[in-house]
Amino acid sequence: MVEFNTRVVHISKDDQIDNGSKTTPIYQTSAFQSKSLEELESFYTGDKRYLYSRIDNPNTNELGRAVAEIEGAKAGVATSSGMSAILIAFLAVLKPGDHLVACWDLYGGTYQLITEELSDFGIQSTLVDFSNLNEVEKATQPNTKLLFSESITNPLLRVENIAGLAALAKAHQLVTIIDNTFASPYLRQPFLQGADLVVHSATKYIGGHSDVTAGVVVGRADLVEKAKTKGVHLGTTLSPFEAWLASRGLKTLSVRMERQVSNAASLAAYLKTRQEIKHVYYPELINGKGQSAIVTIELNDQFVDLSLFFKSLSWVKIIASLAGVETTVSHSTTTSHRALPKELCDKLGINQNVIRISVGIEDEKDIIQAFEEAILKASKKA
């Protein structure tokens, strides 16, 4: 098999529609014609692939297949958002009366999905510290069916021990689902480390250009099939154009990530030298590939004014998202983690001085200068 960077660029074609075009055309259609009742029937026997775009469309199929291929997974399905990817992955495994154990340092939207929505379906949950596998094991119950975590957590960048978690899950006949949004397939491939399903907000590094909201579920073929069926019933399908945009963005994942990770490592090293920054969250090398394209900092409010810091960031925009080619910042307690109870945020260390920096592909020198200027302008000593 060819190497990762080559796989990212050369996604396999769909034989049923391949007409030799270099890129896949956009199949902006809600349905596909059948020339006879026999041909119509062949959709249900599996010979004809396309009938109705909520069920199957060449562009949405291409995105699911592409992420599965580059992550070494068996199958994939694209969805309308990262949240719908997580939802159908959960529903592929969980039934009313079941229980899941999730890491407590979760993205706020996932926290709400688990505590406000799954609970309405009669699905129970326990959130614990996943940096301690004993805690995870202790939280399992006779009705526990799955373990859920993030490969690199949002926003404090804890690197999950996926292999350890998957081994624990297998010992208890549990399913492991990993949200791989922050690492992207470039830094981590959870399926190859034993996860059963991997979910992505393709809105982030997979799309890479902040112009699409999308999600993907990849992993074991049987579970992806179940997730896909849930998605067809619930209507979590991605539109063809959005899928096309995400697939186009995906082709440059390696080169974007290489630059973003390198810029992020330099920015993290610089920020560690500043007394105005109380803490720099930046992980160690992952799989020999790099660290993270996100740097999270905690400002020292003894030295810097938080509000002034945000206003002083010149071309760096305040954006409640991440992973585009531009460097952006977000304020965790008022956006991504607003839904988490304050006591939990306090316990995790997500306080109002925590800022998540999504590092872009600009020149390293300009990025560092923008943050240096903001620190100096917002300095309480100035």
Residue at 224: amino acid letter: V
Q: With contact defined as beta carbons under 8 Å apart, do 146 and 197 qualify?
A: no
Distance of CA 314 to the CA centre of its chain: 28
- To the nearest whole angstrom, how small is the minimum distance from the Cβ of residue 110 to ligand PLP? 6
Smaller CB separation from ligand PLP, 150 or 298: 150
- Single out the residue of 105, 157, 110, 182 nearest to residue 348, CA to CA: 105
Distances, alpha carbon 135 to alpha carbons 35, 102, 145, 156, in Å: 58, 11, 16, 19
Q: How far is the CB of 198 from ligand PLP (least distance, A)?
A: 12
Pick between residue 5 and residue 335 the one whose CB is nearest to ligand PLP.
335
For the bound state, the minimum distance from the C-beta of residue 107 to ligand PLP, rounded and expressed in Å, comes to: 4
Separation of alpha carbons 300 and 277, rounded Å: 5
Residue with tokens 């992420």: 67
Q: In angstroms, what is the minimal distance from the CB of 245 to ligand PLP?
A: 13
Residue with nearest beta carbon to ligand PLP: 82
DSSP string over 212-250: ---EEEEE-HHHHHHHHHHHHHHT-PPPHHHHHHHHHHH
Instruction: In angstroms, give the least distance from the CB of 263 to ligand PLP.
Output: 20
Q: How far apart (Å, rounded) are the C-alpha atoms in residues 323 and 335?
A: 16
| Tokens standing for residue 225 | 């099939």
Q: Which residues belong to the active site?
A: 54, 107, 179, 204
Q: With respect to ligand PLP, which residue has the nearer C-beta, 189 or 203?
A: 203
Note the residues at the interface with ligand PLP (CB under 6 A).
Answer: 81-83, 107, 109-110, 150, 154, 179, 181-182, 201, 203, 213, 215, 336
Tokens of 359: 């590092």
Cβ closer to ligand PLP: 46 or 235? 235
Cβ atoms of 286 and 161 within 8 Å: the answer is no
For the chain, state the CA radius of gyration.
Answer: 21
In 3D space, the residue among 358, 360, 347 whose CA is nearest the CA of residue 106 turns out to be: 347
Contacts of 2 (CB under 8 A, 6+ apart): 10
Judged by beta carbon, residue 56 or residue 105, the one nearer ligand PLP is: 105
3-class secondary-structure state, position 367: helix
Alpha-helix residue ranges (DSSP H) falling in 251-363: 253-271, 306-311, 342-348
Shortest reach from residue 338's CB to ligand PLP, in Å: 12
Residue with tokens 């109380």: 278
Q: Is the Cβ of residue 82 or residue 208 nearer to ligand PLP in the bound state? A: 82
Could you tell me the two tokens for 212? 């699409």
Report helix, strand or coil for 379.
Answer: strand
Nearer to ligand PLP, 111 or 309 (CB): 111
CB 21 within 8 A of CB 58: no
Minimum Å distance from CB 31 to ligand PLP?
Answer: 26
